[in-house]
Amino acid sequence: MIEFNIPPYVGSELGYIKDAIDSGKICGDGKYTKLCNEWLENRLDPAKALLTTSCTHATEMAVILSDIKPEDEVIMPSFTFVSTADAVVMRGAKPVFVDVRPDTMNIDERLIEDAVTEKTKAIIPVHYAGVSCEMTTIMDIADRRGLKVIEDAAQAIGSTYKGKACGTIGDYGCLSFHETKNISMGEGGALLIRDRENIERAEIVREKGTNRSRFYRGEIDKYTWMDAGSSYLPSELNAAYLYAQLEAFDKIQGSRMKAWDMYYEMLTPLKADGFIELPVIPDDCEHNAHMFYIKVKDIDERTAVIGYLKEHGIYSVFHYIPLHTSPAGMRFGRFVGEDRYTTRDSERLLRLPLHYGIKDEQVLAVCDALNDYFRGRDGGRL
Ligand SMILES: *Cc1c(COP(=O)(O)O)cnc(C)c1O
C-alpha cells in the first residue's frame, strides 16, 4: 500500500521532548519555542518569528494586528483551505474571492485590483503547493491602495520568490506545522512579522493580551492586560518535536524534492501526449516540494483515476471545494469577477502520494499505475 501522507518523523523528536519534560517547563515560550523562533528567523529572515498553535491562529493574529474590523473586506482566492477565510470571518469581516491562475492555482494577481473597494483592508495571497504568488504585482497593488498583505504560507516553508522567503514579503506570513505539511509538530504554526514596529503588539496578542513577554525579558517589573488577545502559544512538547524537524530541514526537503523531481520526469511523457497537465513553477519561484499534483480531463476522469489507483493500493486525494460555493462561503463571502478556473480546475486536480521518506520504488509504482491507466484505454485525453 502506498499512503498519501505519513507525518514526518526523523528520530530525535523523543529525546527533545524528554529534555523539555526534564527541564520542568512544558508551557509555551521555553527553550524549544525560542530555538524554533530563532531557526525561523535565521533561515527565513523576517524581523520576528513567533510559534503559534496553528497556521489558522497565526492568520487570526495577523488579521487582528492588521486592525481588520467588522464589515471590512479582505481579498483572497476561493481555491484555498477554509482557514484563510475563517480568520477573516472570525473578526466579522468579509472574504472577497477572486479567481486563480490555472498554471499555479494561485490568486490571479491581475484580477485583484478590480475587487478593491473602499472597504478593502488586506489581501491574503495563498502560496498553493509551496509555489509563490506573483508578489511584486501584489505588493505594488497593496502599496498603491494602502492595503496590508498577509501571506498564507501554510504550504510554503522554504519556498522563495525572487530569492526572498515566502511569508516574509508581506506585512505578515503564516506557516503551518500540521502533520500534513513538510515540517511538523502535530498541530502548530508560526507568525512571521516583517516590520520591527509590529513585534511588540504581536507578542501581546499572542499572550492573551498581556505584556508577559516583556516581563520575562526583564524589561518591565510586572505584567498586565494591555490589549485584546488570545492564547496562541504552543506547548514546549510540541515545540521540541518541531525543533527536531527543523534541524533535519534539509534532509526532509531533500527527500521530498527527490520524489517531486521523479514524478515530474516520469510523468512528462503523459503530459506530452496530452493525457495530463503537470505543475508549473514560474521563473521567479523556487518551490519546496510540498505537493505533487496532476490535472486530468474532468471530475469524472479524476474519480476514475482515484478508483484505479486505489485498486492498486495507492492513495491519492483531491481538495478544495471552492469556498464561494460552500454554505459558509455563500453566507459570509462574495466572488468578484468570473469563475473561469477555480471550479473547473479544482475538479480536475489530483494530489499524488508525497511525504518524507517515500521510496523511489513507490513513486515509480504510482507513475506506472498512471501510465497503465492512461495508455491502457482510448480517450481520457485533455
Ligand atoms: C494547512 C493549511 C492551513 C491551515 O493550517 P493549520 O496549521 O492546520 O491551521 C491554512 N492554509 C492553507 C493553504 C493550508 O494548506
Please give the mean pLDDT across all residues of the chain.
Answer: 97
Q: What is the pLDDT of residue 382?
A: 81
pLDDT at 61 over 70: yes
- Cα–Cα distances (Å) from 373 to 74, 252, 275, 302, in that order, read 42, 31, 10, 11
- Pocket of ligand 1 contains residue 155 by CB under 6 Å: yes
Q: What is the CATH number of domain 249-379?
A: 3.90.1150.10
pLDDT at 167 over 70: yes
Question: C-alpha 208: how far from its chain's center?
Answer: 25
How do 73-77 and 120-123 pair as beta strands? parallel
Ligand 1 atom 1: the closest Cα is on which residue? 154
Q: Which of 357, 28, 83 is nearest to 210 (CA)?
A: 28
In ligand 1, the atom with minimum distance to the C-alpha of 188 is: 7
Q: What angle do CA 328, 107, 142 make, to 5 degrees?
A: 100
CA of 83 to the centre of ligand 1 (A): 6
**Distance separating alpha carbons of residues 275 and 297, to the nearest angstrom:** 8
- Pocket of ligand 1 contains residue 176 by CB under 6 Å: yes
Q: What angle do CA 303, 288, 58 make, to 5 degrees?
A: 90
In single-letter form, the type of residue at position 228 comes to A
- Pocket of ligand 1 contains residue 263 by CB under 6 Å: no
Q: Where are the domains of the chain?
A: 13-247, 249-379
pLDDT at 379 over 70: no
Q: What is the pLDDT of residue 191?
A: 99
Specify the DSSP class assigned to residue 382. -
Hey, what's the cell of 245? 524537524
Longest dimension (CA), the chain: 76
Q: What is the pLDDT of residue 207?
A: 96
What number is the average pLDDT over the span 36-44? 98
**Distance separating alpha carbons of residues 191 and 152, to the nearest angstrom:** 10
Probe residue for ligand 1, chosen from 61, 79, 81, 318 as the CB with the greatest number of ligand atoms within 8 Å? 81
pLDDT at 378 over 70: no
3-state secondary structure of 53: coil
Phi, psi of 273 (to 5 degrees): -90, 10
pLDDT tier, 377 (very low <50, low <70, confident <90, very high otherwise): confident
**Distance separating alpha carbons of residues 110 and 100, to the nearest angstrom:** 10
Ligand 1 atom 2: the closest Cα is on which residue? 154
CA of 152 to the centre of ligand 1 (A): 8
CA of 218 to the centre of ligand 1 (A): 35
92-147 pLDDT, tens digit each? 999 999 999 999 999 999 999 999 999 999 999 999 999 999 999 999 999 999 99
230-259 pLDDT, tens digit each? 999 999 999 999 999 999 999 999 999 999
CA of 34 to the centre of ligand 1 (A): 22
**In a 10 Å sphere around its CB, with 0-12 CB exposed, 13-18 middle and 19+ buried, how is residue 208 labelled?**
middle
- Pocket of ligand 1 contains residue 126 by CB under 6 Å: yes
pLDDT tier, 29 (very low <50, low <70, confident <90, very high otherwise): very high
**Distance separating alpha carbons of residues 107 and 126, to the nearest angstrom:** 7
Least confident of 231-235, 260-264, 378-382: 378-382
Where do we find the cell 472597504? 119
Q: Are 166 and 10 in contact (CB under 8 A)?
A: no
Residue 334 bridge partners (DSSP): 96
Neighbours of 316 (CB within 10 A): 22
Probe residue for ligand 1, chosen from 83, 290, 317, 323 as the CB with the greatest number of ligand atoms within 8 Å? 83
Hey, what's the cell of 48? 520576528
- Pocket of ligand 1 contains residue 83 by CB under 6 Å: yes
315-373 pLDDT, tens digit each? 999 999 999 999 999 999 999 999 999 999 999 999 999 999 999 999 999 999 999 99
- Pocket of ligand 1 contains residue 234 by CB under 6 Å: no
- Give the list of residues 6+ apart from residue 367 with CB closer than 8 angstroms, or none: 262, 263, 266, 267
Question: Percent of the chain beyond pLDDT 70?
Answer: 99
pLDDT tier, 178 (very low <50, low <70, confident <90, very high otherwise): very high
In ligand 1, the atom with minimum distance to the C-alpha of 80 is: 13
**Distance separating alpha carbons of residues 128 and 356, to the nearest angstrom:** 19
Phi, psi of 85 (to 5 degrees): -85, -35
**Distance separating alpha carbons of residues 364 and 299, to the nearest angstrom:** 25
Q: HSE on the CB side for 58, CA within 13 Å?
A: 31
Q: Are 35 and 51 in contact (CB under 8 A)?
A: no
Probe residue for ligand 1, chosen from 55, 107, 318, 351 as the CB with the greatest number of ligand atoms within 8 Å? 55
In ligand 1, the atom with minimum distance to the C-alpha of 57 is: 9
- Pocket of ligand 1 contains residue 81 by CB under 6 Å: yes
Q: Are 354 and 292 in contact (CB under 8 A)?
A: yes
CATH: 3.10.450.40, 2.40.50.100, 3.40.190.10, 3.40.640.10. Which one for 13-247? Answer: 3.40.640.10
Ligand 1 atom 6: the closest Cα is on which residue? 55
Probe residue for ligand 1, chosen from 79, 152, 177 as the CB with the greatest number of ligand atoms within 8 Å? 152
